Structure 1
Amino acid sequence: MSTSPPDSYRRNEHARRAILDAAIDTAIEVGYEKTSIEGIAKRARVGKQTIYRWWPSKGAVLLEALQQRMGRDGELADTGDLFADLRGELLRAAHLYGATPIGAVYHALLTASLSDAALAEAHDAMVRPGIDALRRRLEAAQELGHIRPDIDAATLVDMLYGTILFQVLLRTRPLAPGQVDESLRIILDGVRPRPTLEGGARPAASE
């Protein structure tokens, strides 16, 4: 008995991939504002009704297209070197958001989501797996004593990704690897276990 998917499934999957590719390629070429369902449909060689069958808006199409192009599957690397693992993730994000055409599309989508509740909800669902993966990596480091137990891992996630997104989205300055390293050192220095003096006392803070 054949286990191959039916022809209708293959046709639908082919059309879906064509739409996602057309959406992101169109947005890169003409920008988010000038991208339209009509333009995506024409480029993908499908009818508009085919797109609306699966997505309610161009923003929803582009979010899924971005997830396909820029998503990181699985858990964050755990080599035993917390600095190196976090550095790799932050450099990946910095390059993707700040040095590729996809970054400009993502920037525009974030702006659009501020006034579109459905798009904002879809965006949250898209980024949640990556956020959760980073949080789990930080919690694993806490269990090994590399991060103080009083540190909230979710807040630390915000700080790590926030230092990247602040510079990329507000374009305060180009984001270079050296800046990622310096930001990461400052953050990790603040969350590592503090040294203790003999008898368990902690050293007094310097004035």
Structure 2
Amino acid sequence: MDNHRPHTGRRRNEHVRQAILDGALRLLASAQGSPVTVEAIAREAGVGKQTIYRWWPSKGAVLLEALTDRAEEAAPSPDTGSLHSDLRAVIAATFGGAQDPSTAPALHTLVREAARDPHLAELMQAFTGTRRAVLREVLTRGRERGELPAGRDLDLMVDQVYGVFWYRFLLGHAPLTEEIADLLTDSLIAPGCTGEPAPA
């Protein structure tokens, strides 16, 4: 496990920060199950190890920030005024972003490392929590507009989306396609699934 070191609060150079995050993702993508170290990230980014420790408390924090940045770029929080459009956009972007050539192997490697690193597992939980919050915000706005019944369990809806995502992503038994994003969106907000009366 990494030695945790306090953040010094020094201002980070954005160019160097991005080089470190990009380097971490490249290493995760090519690690093939081997642990990624702070030393390896520093070499890949062309910086000193102490630069990383000045700005992040651990290797896991670097990996989390790298994946969070990538996830926010790939799957932002839309607000078009339509629950169907917003929900479909988040699901499709989540499915598509996770299959990016650099993101997919990195995410697989991070999940494997989290299984044997309790600190990284905590950070992974924080990462997934931020993505859940984006989806829940979309659902909350839809409910406030009357597009979902007031009693609908939003957390269960989020679980359904990410349950499909993680099951298919980790086991690889079925694809995460645009068509699946459409079907999942429709099934989540169909009248029969929300507690609304089905059309006569």
Q: Which TM-score bucket, shorter chain as reference? A: 0.7 to 0.9
Provide the C-alpha distance between the structure 2 equivalents of 1:42 and 1:133, rounded to a whole number of angstroms.
34
Identify the range of structure 1 (32-41 vs 179-188) with the bigger mean alpha-carbon deviation.
32-41
Provide the C-alpha distance between the structure 2 equivalents of 1:154 and 1:90, rounded to a whole number of angstroms.
15
Contact 2:143 2:150 in 1 (8 A): yes
Aligned pairs for 1:27-106 within 5 A:
27-31=28-32, 33=34, 35-72=36-73, 76-106=77-107
Q: Which amino acid aligns with 2:132?
A: I
Q: TM-score, normalised by structure 1?
A: 0.77
**Residue 197 of structure 2: aligned partner:** 194
**Residue 177 of structure 1: aligned partner:** 178
Identify the range of structure 1 (184-193 vs 102-111) with the bigger mean alpha-carbon deviation.
184-193
* SS at structure 2 position matched to 1:79: coil
Contact 1:113 1:120 in 2 (8 A): yes
Aligned length: 189
* SS at structure 1 position matched to 2:98: helix
Q: Which amino acid aligns with 2:85?
A: A
Provide the C-alpha distance between the structure 1 equivalents of 2:140 and 2:71, rounded to a whole number of angstroms.
25
The alignment-based identity, stated in percent, is: 34
Provide the C-alpha distance between the structure 1 equivalents of 2:20 and 2:76, rounded to a whole number of angstroms.
28
**Structure 1: stretches of 5+ with no match in the other structure:** 1-7, 198-207
**Residue 143 of structure 2: aligned partner:** 142
Q: Deviations over 1:59-101 (max 9, x none)?
A: 3322211122222599722223222211111111111113432
Contact 1:70 1:96 in 2 (8 A): yes
Q: TM-score, normalised by structure 2?
A: 0.79
| CA 1:170–1:136: 2 relative to 1, 3 Å | same
Greater relative contact order (Cα < 8 A, sep 6+)? 2
Q: Deviations over 1:98-143 (max 9, x none)?
A: 3432122112212322332221222233333332232122122222
Contact 1:146 1:193 in 2 (8 A): no
For the aligned residue pairs, the C-alpha RMSD in angstroms reads 2.7
Provide the C-alpha distance between the structure 2 equivalents of 1:143 and 1:195, rounded to a whole number of angstroms.
21
Identify the range of structure 1 (150-159 vs 67-76) with the bigger mean alpha-carbon deviation.
67-76
